[in-house]
Homo-oligomer: A and B are copies of this chain.
Amino acid sequence: MNNNDTILLDHGAGGKLSHAMFSELILPLFDNGLLAKQDDGAVFEVPGGRMAFSTDSYTVDPIFFPGGDIGKLAVNGTVNDVAMCGAIPLYISVGLIIEEGMKIHDLRRILQSMARAAQKAGVRIVTGDTKVVPRGKVDKIFINTSGIGLVPAGVNVSGDRARPGDKVIVSGTIADHGVAILSEREGLKFDSDVKSDSAPLNHMVKRVLESGSPVHVLRDPTRGGMGTTLNEIAVQSKVGIRLFEDRLPVRGPVRAICEIVGFDPLYLANEGKLIAMVPGADAGNVLDIIRRDEFGKDAVIVGEVTDQEPGRVVLETLIGGTRVVDMHTGDQLPRIC
Contact = CB atoms under 8 A, between A and B. Distances in A.
Given A59-B133, A134-B9, A137-B139, A3 B104 contact: yes
A98 interface: yes
B44 A104 contact: no
A56 B128 CA distance: 7
A261 interface: no
A47 B49 contact: yes
Number of copies: 2
A188 interface: no
A115 interface: yes
Contacts of A267: none
A8 B100 contact: yes
Interface stretch (A34-42, A191-199, A236-244, A307-315): A34-42
A18 B130 contact: yes
Contacts of A3: 103-105, 108
Interface in A150-166: 150
A30 B96 CA distance: 14
Interface of A: 1-13, 18, 21-22, 25-26, 29-30, 32, 34-35, 41-42, 44, 46-49, 51, 53-57, 59, 61, 91, 93-105, 107-108, 111-112, 114-115, 118, 124-134, 136-139, 142, 144, 146, 148, 150, 334-335
Contact of A139 (B10, B48, B133, B334): B133
- Interface SS majority for chain A: mixed
A178 to B, nearest CB: 16
Contacts of A47: 48-49, 150
A142 B132 contact: no
A22 B125 CA distance: 13
B25 A108 contact: yes
A211 to B, nearest CB: 22
Contacts of A97: 57, 59, 97, 142
Contacts of A56: 95, 129
A33 to B, nearest CB: 9
A102 B6 contact: yes
A230 to B, nearest CB: 20
11 contacts: A4-B103, A7-B101, A9-B134, A11-B98, A25-B107, A30-B111, A59-B131, A95-B95, A97-B142, A131-B335, A133-B335
